[in-house]
Amino acid sequence: MNSDWDVVIVGGGIVGAATLYKLQQRAPDLKLLLLEKENVLADHQTGNNSGVIHSGIYYKPGSYKARNCVEGRRELVEFARAHNVPHDVCGKLIVAFDAGEVARLDKIWSNGTANGIEDMERIGPDRVKEIEPFCEGLEAIRVGCTGIIDFRKATETMAQVARAIQPASALRLGEAYRSVELDGEISVVHTEKGSHRARAVVYCAGLQSDRLAKADGVRFPERIVGFRGDYYELTDKGHPKVKHLIYPVPDPRFPFLGVHFTRMTDGNIECGPNAVFTFKREGYGKLDFDLRDTVDALSYKGTWSLFLNNMSYGIDEYRRAFSKALFLRTLQRLIPSLEADDIRPGRSGVRAMLLGTDGAMVDDFRIERRGSHIHVLNAPSPAATASLAIGNTIAEKAIAELGLVSA
């Protein structure tokens, strides 16, 4: 198979689909190709996340993550409304249970104000129980602009809308990327099914982003390490105990938001996720194992630095991963009346974290260019929420810096 394209986009998660859509929207005459190794779009991080449209309240003011989350969230909601993507801007509570957590709410509120988050409200215990009758807390922030969405459907719709703009553009599923080489100013992308010639290549490879970037000659010291998140879901008995989204106050010592409750677009309510090191980057079972992924992670200094810096947290997360009773105990902080038969095991997801050699997680989004190739090196949560803003940035970069203009 030999084809000529203006841009080949590698990776069919929501960032890849948003890049396709935004680039096609800005330059309708460009002929674009989106490559995805799986037989469906959004089959890894995008399709296995919590399904939350994040507000942007947590993130450091002025950061790329904060700006793109707020802008991307607003645009994502508009896109979902325009294209009938299942979603609901239902709001959430961030609930404090002791004086220390109430103090941390002040910082979250300050970030939200600086980031221009609309529809925020500080509320006391009576108002908390009006919104979520089974939740107990001293104080909370109600974030009205947080929502839920079907990210798989959003990804599929972005690709469909882009191809409607330019029918000559294409989506190739079940076609895994292998390598790239230059033929003068043309990039020749080799896949398991053939080759594609393109003026530029954009990599939105998620869990494999570091490998593809380093194979392409991008030099950086960090490495992707995978963390699995396990969910429970409420049974019919437990379902009435949660109405919307309920989050704890995040512990600043750790890089995750904590186990929370999320009402999904299909009406189910999920509880989780935890966060445990995974021995397979694209493995969703507790015992999944891949030799290459394991060696890559455990031969990296940053992984061991992370383990040593967060030893007690990591041990607690692993214990909870294999113990329903411990998972339930964590959930009972938010809903004290929750019982064992109110929850049942659900699905799992894996998130890609770019780790520094010191074990610190690279918190912000990172996009780098090498010649006519653009690499999304780091797109942690809230990348799905921010996807249209990220896609817009990539499209601007591709058109301005690579000379890609419509004919």
Query: Quick one: pLDDT at residue 252?
Result: 74
Q: What is the mean pLDDT of residues 38-57?
A: 96
54-63 pLDDT, tens digit per residue, is 999 999 998 9
Q: What is the mean pLDDT of the chain?
A: 94
Integer Cα distance of 397 and 407 in angstroms:
18
This prediction's pTM: 0.95
CATH number, domain at 163?
A: 3.50.50.60
Q: Which amino acid is at 294?
A: T
Does 320 share its domain with 190?
no
Q: Report yes or no on 86 lying in a domain.
A: no
Does 230 share its domain with 338?
yes
- Using DSSP's 3-state secondary structure scheme, residue 223 falls into strand
- Answer yes or no: are the C-beta atoms of 142 and 118 closer than 8 Å: no
Does 212 share its domain with 227?
no
Integer Cα distance of 149 and 195 in angstroms:
35
Integer Cα distance of 153 and 84 in angstroms:
9
Does 336 share its domain with 296?
yes
Q: Report yes or no on 61 lying in a domain.
A: no
Q: At what angle do helices 151-165 and 14-26 cross, to 10 degrees?
A: 30
Integer Cα distance of 51 and 46 in angstroms:
8
Q: Is the pLDDT of residue 255 over 70?
A: no
Domain range for 284 is 223-234+266-361
Q: Report yes or no on 298 lying in a domain.
A: yes
Does 351 share its domain with 393?
no
Q: Is the pLDDT of residue 358 over 70?
A: yes
Q: Is the pLDDT of residue 202 over 50?
A: yes
The domain tally of the chain equals 2
209-242 pLDDT, tens digit per residue, is 999 999 999 999 999 999 999 999 999 999 999 9
Q: Report yes or no on 345 lying in a domain.
A: yes
